[in-house]
Amino acid sequence: MKEMELAERLSRISEPQTIKMAKLSRELKAQGIDIVDLSIGEPDFDTPAHIREAAKKAIDEGFTHYTPVAGIPELRKAVVYKLQRDNGLEYTPEQIVVSTGAKQSIANAVLSIINPGDEVIIPTPYWVTYSELVKLCQGEVVFVPCSIENKYKITPAQLEAAITPKTKLFMFSSPCNPTGSVYSKEELKALADVFAKHPQIYIMADEIYEYINYVGKHESIAQFEGMQERTIIINGLSKGFAMTGWRLGYLAAPKSVAKAAENIQSQFTSATSSITQRAAVTALNGDLSTAHAMVDEFRKRRAFVFEQLSNIPGLQLIEPDGAFYMFPDVSAFFGKSYDGEVINNADDVCMYLLHKVNVSTVTGAAFEQPNCIRLSYATSMAKLEEGMKRLKAGFAQLS
Ligand code: PMP
């Protein structure tokens, strides 16, 4: 039978390497191979008990029907409360749209703003999904490569140089996936000063790793004069509350963008799960002690993994200030070989580590930084110890 012809837009996007690598690791594990999986992008902790209880209660009370598309009123209010409490930002509930994960919030934002031909500036390394959504909307992606010397953060001069009259949107994450870099208040202010000269540009600030910060208080670019009116904050419960499977994200935006996002979502998915929303009200209104306990544990693992990786000759890395990833530059190993096979790039390094020492990582090419690989330390200390042992042996075997 002749294959159905798919839409042209599919040729513009690809499956995320992060998801591909997770799939490959699962397949090898299913074959009985003992894989140390450092490719994962989610906390290994359970969702806190009080949040789980709120969900059980919602089920028992029969709170299992459709809700308003942008979220139940108590939840939109809880997000407003959180933005005030944690970020000192004043919003109204109509500016909040709750979605099925932050990923959908980002999609809602891009679909709401981008016309064909609009330019979108993305500092790299960056999180895989941003560019694919822009391409789906036929926008033009403008990557700005950031250097390890500046901890992979964009400088004001780089930003200024990338802006054209066609620039519509700037997308970034802080803390950053994949680098773990965190923009300081001063760095964000310097970027805001550049944006002040270019009022046509929206800013999408992905703050999903907000609570996973080892250097101090999270800062949002929306706090600076004139910025809140043009910033779309993306956040959610996946990382800070260990709730990846619950699917809850949100955006906080100017009213017009929030309304547009709600319209789009009303045609794609409607509201996220009613049960998840009840749990989210409890999470956001509650204190952050469980998030802090999780971060304390991540801090220990980060110190351990950073020390171990720093001792592997050839790896070049920065100590990440947030999130739960290390992003070492492995280019010193390009041109080396094993069993007669030459390692040409970061993809080859990842495949070598996966098949020869059974550690799964993600190639930096996925994040537009082809000299690096990404390792997640959101796994138990025992697994990290074993993983580091294998990595050391693996890199030592390359000659
Ligand atoms: N932004 C970044 C930077 C992420 O790393 C992720 C998850 N990997 C998301 C957004 C999406 O999170 P969610 O599970 O809420 O869709």
Residue 124 CB–ligand 1 contact under 6 Å: no
Closest CA to 319 of 301, 345, 293: 301
Joined tokens for residue 363: 């190639």
Q: Residue 66's CB: how many other CB atoms inside 10 A?
A: 8
Angstrom distances, CA of residue 98 to CA of 23, 74, 280, 302 = 28, 11, 10, 31
- How far CA 371 is from CA of 125, 281, 308, in Å, comes to 11, 42, 19
pLDDT tens-digit map of 202-239: 999 999 999 999 998 999 999 999 999 999 999 999 99
Q: According to CATH, what is the number of the domain 65-286?
A: 3.40.640.10
Pocket residue to mutate for ligand 1, from 97, 127, 324, most atoms within 8 A of Cβ: 127
C-alpha 271/C-alpha 13 separation (Å) is: 26
Instruction: Give the per-residue pLDDT at 53.
Output: 98
Q: Provide block-wise average pLDDT over 10 residues at a time, the chain (399 residues).
A: 86 81 88 93 94 98 98 98 98 98 98 98 97 96 97 98 98 98 98 98 98 96 98 98 98 98 98 98 96 97 98 96 98 94 94 95 95 97 98 94
- Measure 129 CA to ligand 1 centroid, in angstroms: 9
Compute the distance between CA of residue 130 and CA of residue 256 in angstroms, rounded to an integer.
21
Residue 177 Cβ inside 6 Å of ligand 1? The answer reads: yes
Which ligand 1 atom sits nearest the alpha carbon of residue 105? 16
Distance CA 48, CA 29 (A): 28
The predicted complex's ipTM stands at: 0.99
Q: Is 240 in the pocket of ligand 1 (CB under 6 A)?
A: no
Q: Is the CB of 135 inside a 6 Å radius of any atom of ligand 1?
A: no
Selected from 1.10.490.10, 3.30.750.80, 3.90.76.10, 3.90.1150.10, the CATH number assigned to the domain covering 8-46+290-396 reads 3.90.1150.10
DSSP per-residue letters across 111-178: HHHPPTT-EEEEEES--THHHHHHHHTTPEEEEEE--GGGTT---HHHHHHH--TTEEEEEEESSPTT
Looking at residue 254, what is its pLDDT? 98
Q: What is the pLDDT of residue 56?
A: 98
Residue 180: left (phi > 0), alpha (psi -120 to 50), or beta?
A: left
With the most atoms of ligand 1 within 8 angstroms of its CB, the residue from 177, 235, 250 to mutate is 177
First to last CA, the chain: 50
| Ligand 1 touching residue 322 (CB < 6 A) | no
- Torsion sign (Cα): 270, 274, 276, 278: positive
Cα separation, 251 vs 234, whole angstroms? 5
Radius of gyration of the chain (CA): 21
Domain ranges of the chain: 8-46+290-396, 65-286
pLDDT at site 15:
78
Q: Can you give the pLDDT at residue 102?
A: 98
Closest by Cα among 193, 205, 145, 197 to 169:
205
